[in-house]
């Protein structure tokens, strides 16, 4: 599995924590920045990761900002992206099993590093269950197509 990660300044330290966790797990990843706590705009970083996942260069992405909300909203504008903001492990599991979320978003100002590590671990290990959930994903794709957006 190849993972793309990025954050704005508000999620920088949490993104570093996520990078460390992926290294511990031996999971291949690319860090698209930001690389300091100097202010940057979260849509710019979210777009890079969302396009990389949409293009198929990476299997999944993880985005961090202060709340996880901004990067989630921005990433979900990219066709084929299903970004899920998860601040508990139940949601992280469901985001994969039910929603086939291909990007996980996290808020550094909302949760601590320990919980974030559990959420990332849960999300990485869970798999899409298909079945009745697959037709719902197809309906999401149909919404994209309705608005003339290509869909993966």
The binding site for ligand RB5 (CB under 6 A) comprises: 8, 10-11, 42, 65-67, 69-70
Closer residue to ligand RB5 in complex, CB, 11/61:
11
Contact 110, 85 (CB under 8 A): no
Q: Looking at 64, 65, 86, 100, which residue is catalytic?
A: 65
Three-class secondary structure of residue 40 per DSSP: coil
Determine which helix (DSSP H) or strand (DSSP E) holds 68, and give its type and residue range.
none
Catalytic residue status for 133: no
CB 18 within 8 A of CB 120: yes
Q: Which residue has the CB atom at the shortest distance from ligand RB5?
A: 70
In angstroms, give the least distance from the CB of 128 to ligand RB5: 27
Tell the smallest beta-carbon distance from residue 144 to ligand RB5 (Å).
Answer: 23
Is the previous residue joined to 34 through a cis bond, with omega within 30 degrees of 0? Answer: yes
Strands in 37-143 per DSSP E: 60-65, 83-85, 103-107
Task: Report the C-alpha gap between 86 and 92 in whole angstroms.
Answer: 6
Q: How far is the CB of 127 from ligand RB5 (least distance, A)?
A: 29
Residue 98 appears among annotated catalytic residues: yes
Q: Which is nearer to ligand RB5, 45 or 53 (CB)?
A: 45
Q: Using the minimum distance from each CB to ligand RB5, give the nearer residue, 46 or 100.
A: 46
Active-site positions?
65, 98
């Amino acid at each position: 599995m190849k993972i793309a990660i990025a954050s704005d300044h508000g999620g920088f330290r949490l993104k570093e924590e996520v990078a460390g966790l992926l290294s511990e797990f031996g999971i291949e990843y690319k860090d698209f920045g930001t690389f300091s706590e100097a202010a940057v705009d979260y849509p710019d970083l979210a777009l890079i990761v969302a396009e990389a996942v949409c293009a198929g260069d990476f299997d999944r992405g993880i985005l961090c900002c202060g709340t996880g909300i901004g990067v989630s909203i921005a990433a979900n504008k990219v066709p084929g992206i299903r970004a899920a903001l998860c601040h508990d492990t139940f949601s992280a599991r469901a985001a994969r099993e039910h929603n086939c979320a291909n990007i996980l978003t996290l808020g550094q100002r909302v949760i601590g590093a320990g919980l974030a590590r559990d959420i990332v671990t849960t999300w990485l290990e869970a798999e899409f269950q298909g079945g009745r959930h697959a037709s719902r994903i197809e309906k999401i794709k149909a919404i994209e197509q309705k608005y003339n957006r290509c869909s993966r």
